Structure 1
Amino acid sequence: MPSELHPYAVLIRPIITEKSTILAGQDKYVFEVDPRANKAQIKEAVQLAFNVRVADVNTINMKGKPRRFGRRVVHRPNWKKAIVTLVPGDKIELFEGV
């Protein structure tokens, strides 16, 4: 069982890409989250931070990509992505107009 994370420590940063901007039109928002966080903790953190109602949370464990420095190959760290679906009518203003 993962240790109890503070709700503000769960969300690391929003992911702003072309695909995530399209998803925002469907009331879905993408965040990088703490790899130890579960779906219930992510839901609580988004509701607390943005004062919205969360309908669903999907999570993806992203594998770190290899990076080359000359002959040496190192890997970026693995990270976790969460796609949060809001109740229709709710919006996160942070993403609007980006």
Structure 2
Amino acid sequence: MKPIVTEKSAGYDSAGVYVFKVESSANKIEIRQAIEELYGVKVKKVNVVSVPQKSRFMKGRKGIHSGYKKAMVFLGKGEKIDIT
């Protein structure tokens, strides 16, 4: 599990929402428990998105950019995670 730091995900920090790239076999309960244990915060809810794989062309050959699972973690009021 590692945080996804983009311009869009950094904008969610003020609302108490953090985005993580997680194991594709992980479910919401496992993600919640891992975040609470790793960062010592109380998780309000977890949304999960499966990002599909995409085909790419490189030097005239077709390849595949593998997909992954992304979790949006909503924290309770006053809770923060220091990602830096």
Q: Which residue of 2 aligns with 1:32?
A: 21
Q: Is the counterpart of residue 88 in structure 1 residue 47 in structure 2?
A: no
Q: Is the Cα–Cα contact under 8 Å of residues 54 and 65 in structure 2 kept in the other structure? A: yes
Query: Would you say how many aligned residue pairs link Structure 1 and Structure 2?
Result: 84
CA distances 1:64-86 after superposition (whole Å, capped 9, x unpaired): 23221222111111100000000
Instruction: Decide which of 41, 49, 55 is 2:38's aligned counterpart.
Output: 49
**Counterpart Cα distance in 1 of 2:26 and 2:20:** 12
**Counterpart Cα distance in 2 of 1:23 and 1:64:** 25
Counting strand residues as a fraction of each chain, which structure ranks higher?
Answer: 2
**Counterpart Cα distance in 2 of 1:32 and 1:58:** 12
Indicate the percent of aligned positions where both proteins have the same amino acid: 36
TM-score, reference length from structure 1? 0.81
Q: Which residue of 1 aligns with 2:66?
A: 77
**Structure 2 stretches of 5 or more lacking a match?**
none
**Structure 1 stretches of 5 or more lacking a match?**
1-10
TM-score, reference length from structure 2? 0.94
CA distances 1:25-65 after superposition (whole Å, capped 9, x unpaired): 10000000000000000000000000000000000000123
* Structure-to-structure mapping, 1:58-69, within 5 angstroms: 58-69=47-58
